[in-house]
Amino acid sequence: MNGFVKSARSALLIPGARIVVPAGVPLSALRAGRRRNGPNDRIGITGKVIVVLQNVLTGVKRVYETCNIVTNAGDHYYAQTAAEETKLFTVAGMRLGTNAGTATTPVKADVKLQTTTGSALLAASEKAIDATYPQSDDGDGDNTGAGIDIVTWRTSWTVSEANSANIATVDLPDSLTDGSITQSLSIANFAAKFTKSSSDTLKVFVNHTMNGV
């Protein structure tokens, strides 16, 4: 048929049209392409938190990873950022939480790390985001989750800060005063709690990957 394929199915997809199918390309591939493109495109945000503890006496590094959830407020934040609109809130910094048991998985409606994770705020762990962050394609070699389509937030703690034997959660709230928090960009919990001692420095990377799907 001179390279043309016409069927009842194609007529339903595009009334009155014929579909030109290149040699070796099945119609199923074209149908899949139509689902992927056009007004049904979506952007999904996925997250990964990377914790790097370094012992200042030995130089040994310990690394922990977990997933994090971008909250409903976080979705709003990124939408307004993309549209260059005034944002609903600003990220004030990062906080750590402790848990005597096992922290539960945060959900999108959560406001801060204490909302549903069962964690408590680690006193004096509240710190601002490091200078030059957030940034895409993070150049810090400790951040194994960096990439050109990934936004990284980083906060660092010295040996005298945020020492605890059961750090379990992290959030990025709109205030570093607990009673003033109204929303957080993202929240994460760790399946295995980690310890930070007075011999450790700590860096926490919160990575958000922007995926067009």
| pLDDT value at residue 10 | 37
Q: Are residues 8 and 75 in the same domain?
A: no
Q: Are residues 71 and 155 in the same domain?
A: yes
Q: Are residues 63 and 121 in the same domain?
A: yes
Q: Are residues 87 and 11 in the same domain?
A: no
Q: Are residues 147 and 109 in the same domain?
A: yes
Tokens of 186: 């993202």
Q: Are residues 140 and 200 in the same domain?
A: yes
- The low-confidence residues of the chain, meaning pLDDT below 70, are 1-43, 100-103, 213
- Domain extent, residue 150, equals 42-212
The structure's pTM equals 0.79
Q: Residue 184 pairs with which residues in a beta bridge?
A: 173
Q: Are residues 137 and 186 in the same domain?
A: yes
SS3 at position 112: coil
| pLDDT value at residue 24 | 57
Q: Are 174 and 92 in contact (CB under 8 A)?
A: yes
| pLDDT value at residue 105 | 83
Q: Are residues 179 and 117 in the same domain?
A: yes
| pLDDT value at residue 211 | 81
As for how many domains the chain has, the answer is: 2
| pLDDT value at residue 78 | 94
Please tell me the distance from the alpha carbon of residue 155 to that of residue 143, in angstroms, as a whole number: 12
